[in-house]
Chains A and B, each alone.
Chain A
Amino acid sequence: MSVIYMDNAATSWPKPAETMAAINHYNDMIGGSPGRSGHRLSVDAGRCVIDAREALAELFGISNPLRIVFTGNATEALNIAIFGFLAAGDHVITSGMEHNSVMRPLRALEQQGVDVTVIPCSPRGEIDPGDVEKAIGAATRAIYLTHASNVTGTIMPIADVGAIAREKGIMFCVDAAQSAGAVPLDVEDMKIDFLAFTGHKSLFGPQGTGGFYVADGFAKNIRPIMMGGTGSRSESEEHPDFLPDKFEPGTVNGIGIAGLGAGVRFILDRGVDHIRNHEMGLTDMLILGLGEIPGVVVHGGRDARRQTTAVSFSIETVSPAAIALILDEEYQIMSRPGLQCAPAAHRTIGTFPVGTVRLSPGYFTSEDDIGRALSAIAAIAGRIVRL
């Protein structure tokens, strides 16, 4: 029996054939250092990188592709937005549904005098934008908010919070690791100042790709957390202050970015709405099916229209790790048990410290796969009930 991959919230798999074709083409025919030399293989490598910037800019409603910076992953992008922007005495706001890629940098800065307000969310994982507005004070410099929870899939009211941040003139940083490519995103409409994305989830790129968009007004106020060679202004021993070079020291992951660019084109060719509709149908089927199994508790909002494909569930009295092991070994179903690197979110939904089992179908998941997963979980839950 073939493997059923339901861990797309961790990394998407399989990747589109287009992604792999672009990676192979880069390896076979290009292979130079992007932006470093003048020979044709270097220039062609640079062209792959600029093509990917353009595709991402189109996807996120960004007019200037040079405002897209590549990093190794969303975590690195978020670290730049946090460590590069804040100083002792600053106040920042975040939510009770954040991943550790936001929480750990903020908690570290808290030790150094940054004042952090964590807005509590409902047990369903939802935030009230009014609570965010009330928390803003004179020293507030930024709001860091996930677009979609990696535990419950809950989609946050980004446009509402963006409007509040814009009105107050504070930086609005969105963690789009779970949403980019899967949920419509527009930095202008949603008033996003800093958008951190990963390449290897719903953007269909390989692991080791990611990046961010930063708005004109904030780029100059963010310090690079690394400096080095950029292929530009080589005569100077001062690091450049223009985008994207300011935040792209060292050779970028050219071969990975070539794959990422192809992954984003795959999305643009089909349309985010088409992908979203397909994934909503699968999520709906999963939530409804799990809800009908005796002994199974589904966490979060339980509404496919208001979440991504990430669905967390528990079977009373059985540890998530045990369920995930049975799913893998007996049913060839890949899931993610535990806290999913988001202890704050589990505290919010009441599943800390045990955690949950998370299933996250993807664009390449079929309804048949969902059916097989539901049968497997029903069998496991039935076994427990009989005990």
Chain B
Amino acid sequence: MNVSKSYMILLFDSTSATLLAEKVLKKEGIPIKIIPVPRHISSDCGVCIRVSPQDREKIEELLADVVDRAEICVL
């Protein structure tokens, strides 16, 4: 995965939504990684998706109809 200095985190309501988003993004060949939610972002015990900020536009477009809510944090 080509993650340079900064990366982006996609946070979803549930693990189900996270793993559905993972499938959609993988299908489109977008490099992603499932990681536990970093403690300084949320105290949620679940997982989130780490992506590269350069894919942001495409990701937002792909997920618009798939999940109700997604938060994006650029780190």
Contacts and interface: CB of A to CB of B under 8 A. Distances in A.
Contact of A235 (B15, B16, B20, B44): B44
B43 A50 contact: no
B35 interface: yes
Contact of B36 (A35, A38, A49, A64): A38
Contacts of B58: none
Contacts, number: 75
A235 B35 CA distance: 19
Given A38-B34, A38-B36, A43-B34, A50 B16 contact: yes
A358 interface: no
Q: Provide the main secondary structure of the chain A interface.
A: loop
A38 B35 contact: yes
B13 A240 contact: yes
B23 interface: yes
Nearest to A53: B16
Interface string A23-50: 0000000000011111000010011011
Contacts of A279: none
Given A38-B46, A242-B68, A230 B20 contact: no
Contacts of A231: 14-15, 45-46
A46 B45 contact: no
B67 interface: yes
Interface of A: 34-38, 43, 46-47, 49-50, 53-54, 64-66, 230-235, 240, 242, 244-245
24 contacts: A35-B46, A36-B45, A37-B45, A38-B34, A38-B37, A43-B34, A43-B47, A46-B15, A46-B47, A47-B23, A50-B19, A53-B16, A54-B23, A64-B66, A230-B14, A231-B14, A231-B45, A232-B44, A234-B45, A235-B42, A235-B44, A242-B13, A242-B14, A244-B16
